[in-house]
Amino acid sequence: SYDLTQPPSVSVSPGQTARITCSGDALPEKYAYWYQQKSGQAPVLVIYEDNKRPSGIPERFSGSRSGTMATLTISGAQVEDEADYYCYSTDSSGNHWGVFGGGTKLTVL
């Protein structure tokens, strides 16, 4: 099965830049997506197709992909950005649906 690997946790102070990585063998060829999940809430799409922000997502959220790694960057992280973040992508099997990374707990304090 295909795996996307994320660090279990990232910690920054308010106003600092937070970077969350996601590595996967198929990422050189496949888009990455990022979901934010606050405690007790449903996931919310924050980045799609590597670097696009859905309507309503603050500009401080950005994404990039290079080689086998995708990165979610939160520039000037706010306390309200504290959440679990999941990357999502597909493998090269031809299936449309993909897999989620294990998630990264972002602490902002």
Partner 1 sequence: EVQLVESGGGLVQPGGSLRLSCAASGFTVTNNHMSWVRQAPGKGLEWVSIIYSGGFTYYADSVKGRFTISTDNSKNTLYLQMNSLRAADTAVYYCARGVISGTYYFDYWGQGTLVTVSS
Residues that bind partner 1 (CB under 8 A): 30-31, 33, 35, 37, 41-45, 48-49, 54, 86, 88-90, 95-103
Q: For residues 87 and 107, what is the distance between their CA atoms, to the nearest angstrom?
A: 17
Q: Is 56 exposed, middle or buried (0-12, 13-18, 19+ CB in 10 A)?
A: exposed
Q: State the DSSP H helix or E strand holding residue 62, giving kind and residue range, or none if neither.
A: strand 61-66
Nearer to partner 1, 54 or 76 (CB): 54
Amino acid (1-letter code) at residue 30: K
Nearer to partner 1, 43 or 76 (CB): 43
Nearer to partner 1, 55 or 59 (CB): 55
The distance of closest approach from Cβ of residue 1 to partner 1 in the complex, given in angstroms and rounded to an integer, is 9
The distance of closest approach from Cβ of residue 31 to partner 1 in the complex, given in angstroms and rounded to an integer, is 5
The distance of closest approach from Cβ of residue 34 to partner 1 in the complex, given in angstroms and rounded to an integer, is 10
Nearer to partner 1, 21 or 37 (CB): 37
Paired strand residues for 66: 69
Q: For residues 17 and 32, what is the distance between their CA atoms, to the nearest angstrom?
A: 20
